[in-house]
Amino acid sequence: MMNPVNQDDIIYFVVTDRFFGDSKRYADPADALIHGGTLDGILSKLDYLIELGITAIWVTPVYENILKTDSAEPYHYYWAQDFKKIDQRLLDGSVLSESPELTTFGTFVERCGARGIKVILDMVVNHCGYGAESRFNPNWFQDGDGEIEEPLAGLPDFDHDNTEVVDFFIQNIKAWITEGKVSNIRMDTVKHVEPKFWHYFKSQIQGEFPDIFMVGEILVEDKDGVNKIVEYQNFHDFESVFDFPLCTALRSTLIYDESLSSWLARPRLSDDEPLGVLDNDNPFKGGYRNPNQLVTLLDNHDLQQRIVSHARTKHKGDGVGLDFAIKVTKLCLGALFSMRGIPQLYYGTEIGLEGWKRGDSQGDRDLRRDFPWNVIDSQSQQPISGLKKERDIYDWTKSLISLRKQSKALRYGTTVTLWSDDLVYAFLRVTTEEVAFVIINNGYLPMSQPLSISLSTSTVSPRVIGLITNGLVHWKTNQALTINGESIEVLVDDKTIDIYV
């Protein structure tokens, strides 16, 4: 039975080895190799995810991977050597069978589903692990130039212009769907795969299993790269892609103080203004076919820093600096959960977990720290009382998730920009039944006087204006939104997002 991800969901991404497992299996964390997190460990922590409000969990690949090399070990499990088996390092026998067959993953999916949690499986078709090419036909690989044909990080690169390669992976994906009960796929390194493969995928996999949800990783971060991402949603029929340009926009503006109007949406004073990321939501102007299906995020396992670390980089120190970093992180989370798309949290962001990508041999390992279960109360499944950063960010995140679940406008609404300048961005989320009003003040000072935002029938319909004027209230204080004639009047604190529903 298919259980595809949709706009009602909150996605939680875990690097399985770093989330939770039998501590007896853990290596010395100082070696930063296999730490022992397992699929069983995830199942044992579903109470925590449910308490937070998570409805879908994305897990890193589970294929049987290569063993330890002289310099690395695939704790992330992106270096497959057998695409038809589960790596037994991801099974500890505490909940699931230790059998590496795909049906074991099917049991994992069923157990998550029984608790109301959907599963997204990370899949790789671009490459295998270092040295694993000997397990495949040598004619399946290429070693060329360019984004598609050049081996990524030196990993053996499959040639998807070879029909045998295409057929192998189409059959393999089908097996994971039928035997592993996969309904949702996160596809790795999409832009490095020959376009021919996506033609076969959409005709065979999506044809036979039309309810499959797939989100593609096209790691293009700048707003100028939106056209590259649009290509996959509009021409290769990806249900969804990760919205890395919005991720960059939120980080660049809300943390590093760049212009909101330059990054997010133009003020609409003239048609000559440069477009922001959210201005690309119009398919009639070359934008996304369906922006509400994009998966939005603040950080993940491949970017340079976790979002809290960005905030700590900007606002240093453990006193005022920490307080401000918490405030800015909450501002970023508020934007994530109030804007269009399907929000994705990276494990630990909800408790302020930090991490950086390093330039030495440690690489991404600090970015993928172990989840600090010592800060979580085993009874309440929430951060221990008294832990300022963890508790403050967790409570805020949980409240935002609850708000989003209650608001059709935040889940399904069309985005309508009402105001945009360097420091302030105000927008509506509009559905057939509800409307939400959101305003961000990115300045370092509270507004000195109320901002008047016009409600014009050239922007929204009289019905929507009626919904706004008839009783929107602040999501935290329940204070009514102030309406003065045909304008909204708002006074917003510094580095703050206010949401009225």
CATH of the domain at 470: 2.60.40.1180
Supply the pTM of this predicted model: 0.97
Q: Are residues 213 and 89 in the same domain?
A: yes
Together in a domain, 58 and 80: yes
Residue 404 sits in the same domain as residue 424: no
Q: Which residue, of 408, 427, 461, is where some domain finishes?
A: 408
Asked whether residue 350 falls in the same domain as residue 458, the answer is: no
Last residue of a domain, one of 408, 424, 454: 408
How high is the pLDDT of residue 28?
A: 57
> Would you state the pLDDT for residue 237?
86
Q: What is the DSSP string of 174-201?
A: HHHHHTS---EEEESSGGGS-HHHHHHI
* Domain range enclosing 438: 415-500
Note whether residue 199 is domain-resident. yes
Number of residues that make up the chain: 501
Write the burial class of residue 337 (CB in 10 Å: 0-12 exposed, 13-18 middle, 19+ buried). Answer: buried
For residue 453, report the phi and psi dihedrals to the nearest 5 degrees: -115, 115
Is residue 404 in a domain? yes
Same domain, 443 and 398: no
Question: Of the candidates 357, 385, 408, which is a domain's last residue?
Answer: 408
What was the pLDDT predicted at 23? Answer: 56
Encode 409-429 in three state secondary structure: HHHHCEEEEEEECCCEEEEEE
Q: Has residue 153 been placed in a domain?
A: yes
**Is 2 part of a structural domain of the chain?**
no
Q: What confidence score (pLDDT) does residue 1 get?
A: 77
Residues of the chain whose pLDDT is less than 50?
A: none
pLDDT of residue 343: 98
Positions of E strands within 306-362: 342-346
Do 187 and 49 fall within a single domain?
yes
| Residue 144 covered by a domain | yes
Domain count across the chain: 2
pLDDT at 26: 54
76 and 198 assigned to the same domain: yes
Residues 402, 454: one domain? Answer: no
Shared domain for 206 and 348, answered yes or no, is yes
- 459 plus 332 within the same structural domain: no
In a domain, residue 1? The reply is no
Residue 23 within a domain: yes
Helix (H) or strand (E) holding 159: none
4 located within any domain? no
CATH label of the domain that carries residue 236 = 3.20.20.80
User: Both 297 and 442 in a single domain?
Assistant: no
Q: What is the dihedral of CA 298, 301, 307, 312, to 10 degrees?
A: -170
Q: Do 353 and 476 reside in the same domain of the chain? A: no
Alpha-carbon span 13 to 5, nearest angstrom: 13
Q: What pLDDT score does 287 carry?
A: 85
Dump pLDDT digits (tens) for 43-52. Answer: 999 999 999 9
